[in-house]
Amino acid sequence: MTVTDINDWRIALVGTPNSGKTALFNALTGSRQKVANYAGVTVERKSGFLQTASGHRVNLIDLPGTYSLRGRSPDEEIARDVILGKFASEAPPDFLLCVADATNLRVALRLVIELKRVHRPMLLVLNMIDIARRRGIDIDLDKLSAELGVPVVTSTAVRRAGIEDLLRRIDAIAGKPAEAIAASEWTVPAASDLRAAQREADRVIRAAVSEPAKPDTWTTRVDAVLLHPVWGMIVLLVLLFVMFQAVFAWAQPVMDLITAGFDALGAWTATVLPEGLLQSFVQNGVISGVGSVIVFLPQILVLFLFILLLEDLGYMARAAFLMDRIMGGAGLHGRAFIPLLSSFACAIPGIMATRVIDNKRDRLTTIMVAPLMTCSARIPVYTLIIAAFVPDRPVLGFLGLQGLVMFGLYATGIVSALAVSLAANHFFWHESATPPFMLELPDYKLPQLRSVLMNLYQRAMAFLKRAGTTIFSMMVLIWFLASFPRPPLGATEPAIDFSLAAIIGRWIEPLLAPVGFNWQISVALIPGMAAREVAVASLGTVYAIEGGKEAVEQVGQALANKWSLATALAFLAWYVFAPQCASTLAVIKRETGGWRWMWITFFYMLSMAYIAAFITYHIALALGWG
Amino acid sequence: MSTLTAIMMDITSPATDESTRAPPAAVPLGLAHRGFQGRIDAIAVDGDHLGVSAAEIERRLLELGIVEGAAVHVLHEGPIGRDPIAVRVNGTTIALRRREAMAILVV
């Protein structure tokens, strides 16, 4: 990692959303990038280094996309504060590199006119100039520059030639001896200011840009299908099916490989290290802890590959358009659809994917309900209990009772997510509907592989670094609870019976007795906090069944003998809601930037789990299934 | 709805007799159907929308390039209740709900 030098030119990359800013940033800085957080906030700070033609080093900051400096969201506030030099931990930029999509100048030029009031040296980059030329849009650069009063340069983020010209221009402007920079005249624009600026932008465009008589209608023609009330929905559903399938199917072999790898590593340490505390810590604490985090990586990568491709293509905004009304009925934003769907695989990538929702309120609601979607980690628990307790008999001739129960569990998750979202709007936001949905539907563009791969890499690193530390420490804590104190010599019961987990389990047993849970379940819930599926192995441990995962059938038989049907059903109801996943909680903490929303999610899910299990248990008892 | 259709037909159909007709009255874009083409006459937000002030709604519309005089063309309607709508505004496509589009008066 390169260290910032006081002599570096500090340049801020500014632009509206969809201006191709990030692709240009990737093209300019290549692999010399650094993703961190702005001090004190959760907004991502992307910066990188590049060399100009003269060899001068530039520290380039990619600011969040913004339509104006009004600071409507935390992201936009950052953009404003950095540009105005108000951000305490950031030196004001030496100059602004303003990016505009050459095919869509109106909104971008209005931003440029607003930025001029800041009185910082500025260079306007017309991005995607190749596409504009192909469409017959003719831009008189000299005239545009003269009318705007800002130097203008063109670029195509994919071609090296455009970038080199841009670097030469940066040299020419930033290399000039620093003249006294006038103080910023920027004030929060009122509606009349925005109107005047847009009129001025339209005037400049009329003077310098000639649009073809017959505009390019490719996007419109594609949209005729993709935004069609019927075909559009069919395409969306097919796309989602493929995506969902990919997250499950493509990732599975790699996930199995990772699990097998960590299991082998654990087994190897068992042979190398002497049996005892150290071995247990390395094998069960460190290796399985790290493994349980890394195993999610393939799913995250596959999911984000889809999301990045669809986002760059311009389809994400369309999916939000199609789903807005359906999601809006539950008080969710149209953009919440993809994250929630992803959560069927795993809530972790789903919660990370909520970044596509720009409204903070909508994003928090989505994060809160995402863990209610039935994730793949619940499947082992569901199948175990269903196989052991629900008879495999047909219903209505063609439906299996077991499958029906499974479906019911999924449906319960979805319905309760929608209900919680409605309730959240009512209790947290005191409103009954979502704020305005206004969204630019950008023209379709072919995604750039390089840029997509770089973003994918950053997502992967962000997950490993940020969640990894928190998740790992939770894993170690859970290992500690399940391992201490050690069993006395000559004890015949399983070691976990003597541990803190068992002490806590027995202590909370009276609390869980009303929902039909015995002390063994209470104990198994503690290591089950690590990940939902761990509960299966934990139940095996507390019922003293050797052999871990291979012994699932045995566990099922043991449970069928020891639990009543009422307890089993209550356990299923519990698992629909219970926040039994330390990783998810850790990611919520990371993504929301604090403990508050993590605890809110934890407690509301715990309460729902308790209430659902209680009701299920008592109904089952009343039906004589005790 | 029939009055609305009548108004729409009134706007979209070419005027038969220029001298005897008053200039067409502005209608909210929120009532327009797919295929409607016109020009923005005024932006008049009737009130606060669910906690977002009228002034803020106006500024958000303006920031997306929705200003008086811009050409509008309703390209698409959402699958449920024909909501939201996708509108081409001077070359940029904007998706918005009919609720907010009511503030955009078009002729």
Facing A436 at nearest CB: one of B49, B62, B76: B49
Q: Which chain B residues are closer than 8 Å to A18 by Cβ? A: none
Q: Give B91→chain A minimum CA distance, Å.
A: 7
Residue A372 predicted with pLDDT over 90: yes
Residue-wise pLDDT tens digits, A304-314? 888 889 888 98
Q: Which residues are CB-contacts of A259 (< 8 A; sequence separation ≥ 6)?
A: A291, A295
Q: Which chain A residues are closer than 8 Å to B34 by Cβ? A: none
Q: Which chain B residues are closer than 8 Å to A227 by Cβ? A: 75-76, 86
Query: Does B78 contact A441 at a Cβ distance shorter than 8 Å?
Result: no
Which of B93, B94, B98, B100 has the highest number of chain A CBs within 10 A, making it the mutation to test binding with A? Answer: B93
Q: Count Cβ–Cβ pairs < 8 Å, chain A vs chain B.
A: 123
C-alpha separations of A189 from A120, A198, A613, B62, B106 in Å:
18, 12, 54, 11, 25
pLDDT number for residue B55 = 86
pLDDT number for residue A17 = 85
Q: Which residues are CB-contacts of A346 (< 8 A; sequence separation ≥ 6)?
A: A296, A299, A300, A375, A376, A377
Fill in the DSSP letter of residue B30: G
pLDDT number for residue B51 = 66
3-class DSSP state of B84: strand
Tally: H helices and E strands in chain B: 3, 6
Q: Which residues are CB-contacts of A256 (< 8 A; sequence separation ≥ 6)?
A: none
- Rounded to 5°, the CA angle A266-A549-A518 comes to 115
Q: Specify the pTM.
A: 0.79
User: For residue A474, how many C-alpha atoms fall within 13 Å in the half-sphere facing its CB?
Assistant: 22
Q: What is the mean pLDDT of chain A?
A: 83
Residue A342 predicted with pLDDT over 90: no
Q: Which chain A residues are closer than 8 Å to B100 by Cβ? A: 436-438
Q: Give A436→chain B minimum CA distance, Å.
A: 7
Question: What is the band of A3 on the pLDDT scale with cuts at 50, 70, 90?
Answer: low
- Better pLDDT: A465 or A385: A385
Query: Does A324 contact B78 at a Cβ distance shorter than 8 Å?
Result: yes
Q: Give A19→chain B minimum CA distance, Å.
A: 12
- Better pLDDT: A241 or A405: A405
Q: Which residues are CB-contacts of A579 (< 8 A; sequence separation ≥ 6)?
A: A371, A585, A601, A602, A605, A606, A609
Residue of A nearest to B52 (CA): A435
Facing A441 at nearest CB: one of B50, B62, B95: B95
CA gap A436, B67 in Å, rounded: 18
| Contact by Cβ (8 Å): A452, A312 | yes
| Contact by Cβ (8 Å): B38, B107 | yes
Maximum mean pLDDT: which of A86-95, A287-296, B84-93: B84-93
Query: Does B94 contact A441 at a Cβ distance shorter than 8 Å?
Result: yes
Average pLDDT (B40-60) is: 83
Maximum mean pLDDT: which of A7-21, A236-250, B2-16: A7-21
- Better pLDDT: A70 or A244: A70
- Residue type for A69, please? L
Average pLDDT (A9-25) is: 88
Question: What is the band of A159 on the pLDDT scale with cuts at 50, 70, 90?
Answer: low
Average pLDDT (A57-76) is: 86
Query: Does B96 contact A223 at a Cβ distance shorter than 8 Å?
Result: no
Q: Give A254→chain B minimum CA distance, Å.
A: 38
Tell me the ipTM for this assembly: 0.80
Residue-wise pLDDT tens digits, A489-544? 777 776 777 788 888 888 888 999 999 998 888 877 877 777 777 777 677 666 75
pLDDT number for residue A582 = 81
Tokens of A87: 């951000």
Q: B59-62 contacts: CB < 8 A, separation 24 or more? A: B59/A70, B59/A189, B59/A190, B59/A191, B59/A194, B60/A72, B60/A436, B60/A438, B61/A438, B61/B100, B61/B103, B61/B104, B62/A191, B62/A194, B62/A195, B62/A198
pLDDT number for residue A391 = 84
Query: Which residues of B have a CB under 8 Å from any CB of A?
Result: 49-52, 55, 57-65, 67-69, 75-81, 83-84, 86, 88, 90-97, 99-100
Among A23-37, A110-124, B66-80, whose mean pLDDT is lowest? A23-37
pLDDT number for residue A157 = 64
Q: Give A138→chain B minimum CA distance, Å.
A: 15
User: For residue B105, how many C-alpha atoms fall within 13 Å in the half-sphere facing its CB?
Assistant: 10
Query: Does A107 contact B63 at a Cβ distance shorter than 8 Å?
Result: yes
Q: Give B80→chain A minimum CA distance, Å.
A: 6
Q: Which residues are CB-contacts of A366 (< 8 A; sequence separation ≥ 6)?
A: A332, A333, A336, A339, A340, A354, A357, A421
With b for 16 or more beta-carbon neighbours within 10 A and e for fewer, the B42-73 pattern comes to: ebebeeebeeeeeebbbbbbbbbbbbeebebb
Q: Which chain A residues are closer than 8 Å to B92 by Cβ? A: 104, 106-107, 440
Average pLDDT (A549-574) is: 81
Question: Which stretch of DSSP H or E encloses residue A465?
Answer: none
pLDDT number for residue A144 = 95
Residue-wise pLDDT tens digits, A174-224? 777 666 667 788 888 999 999 999 999 999 999 999 988 777 678 888 999
Query: Does B50 contact A435 at a Cβ distance shorter than 8 Å?
Result: yes
Q: Which residues pair with A49 in a beta bridge?
A: A59
